[in-house]
Structure 1
Amino acid sequence: MFEYHGWITVRETAADDDDQPRLRQIVDGLRRRIALMDSPYLLDLRWMNGEPFIHLGGFSNHRSPPDVAELFAHVAVVAPGSYGLLHVRDDEEPDHANEVRVLRLVRGQVTRHTERLLSPCVPMVEDPFTG
């Protein structure tokens, strides 16, 4: 099972200035990339109150395209002022099958962490299998 929920505030730099022309170019490029991902799940880029945001979420039997972790890495490169979180539960990930993992995007870097509020999944989120 592969479940993910996340968001990104897209910014060209961490300075949060009002120079929109370059940011609009970045967002246009991200919009094209997202369109190519062709996700049946939630994958949305929109402007809200003058700021661009990406929201994503999905749930499938196995890890499969779209590669949402790769999207986070791409945003880190093209818009290093961006920040966001991606929570991932992947029961096929070696050494982390019973954890919710968090990808943190900040200042052009993506790092991975264990989400302590939801891990270990059994017994925190689900009861142990007794079958």
Structure 2
Amino acid sequence: MFEYHGWITIRETAAEDDDEPQLRETVDALRLHLARMESPYLLDLRWMNGEPFIHLGGFSNHRSSPDVVGLFEHVAAVAPGSYGLLHVRDDEEPGHENEMRVLRLARGMVTQHTEALLSPYTPTVEDPFTG
């Protein structure tokens, strides 16, 4: 199974005072990028209180479309001041089958970590299979 839940606050730079016209251009380009992803799951970009955010979530049989890790890497490249988290469980990822992973987007970089609050997945979240 491939389960993911995440969010990104979109910013051009790590400074508080982004150039609003440039930020709007970046957000418009990201909106087109999201539209090309054609996700059947949650994939939403909207402005809230003057700030742009992406929210995403899904649950499928295998890691496939949409490429949510690629989305985080793309945002890191085009809007390096952005930040956010993506929680992922992929029971087919070698060496991480029993972990909840968290990708951190900050200062133009995406890094992966084990989510200690939900790992190991079994028995933290689910009971061991006894069948």
TM range (shorter): over 0.9
> Is 1:25 equivalent to 2:35 in the alignment?
no
What is residue 129 of structure 2 aligned with on the other side? 129
Amino acid at match of 1:3: E
Q: Which runs of 5+ in 1 are unaligned?
A: none
Amino acid at match of 1:55: H
Once residues 18 and 10 of structure 1 are traced to their aligned partners in structure 2, the CA distance between those partners, rounded to angstroms, is 10
What is residue 97 of structure 1 aligned with on the other side? 97
Q: 1:109-120 counterparts in 2 under 5 A? A: 109-120=109-120
Amino acid at match of 2:69: A
Once residues 18 and 30 of structure 2 are traced to their aligned partners in structure 1, the CA distance between those partners, rounded to angstroms, is 19
Q: Contact 2:72–2:105 (CA<8 Å) still a contact in 1?
A: yes
Query: For residues 72-109 of structure 1, what are the alpha-carbon distances to aligned partners after superposition, in whole Å with 9 as ceiling and x for unaligned?
Result: 00000000000000000000000000000000000000
Partner of 2:39: helix, strand, or coil?
Answer: coil
Partner of 2:58: helix, strand, or coil?
Answer: strand
Misfit runs of 4+, over 4 Å: none
Q: What RMSD, in angstroms, separates the aligned Cα atoms of the two structures?
A: 0.5
Once residues 18 and 41 of structure 1 are traced to their aligned partners in structure 2, the CA distance between those partners, rounded to angstroms, is 30
- Paired residues in the alignment total 131
What is residue 108 of structure 2 aligned with on the other side? 108
Amino acid at match of 1:35: A
Once residues 4 and 16 of structure 1 are traced to their aligned partners in structure 2, the CA distance between those partners, rounded to angstroms, is 29
Identity value in percent? 79
Q: 1:63-102 counterparts in 2 under 5 A? A: 63-102=63-102
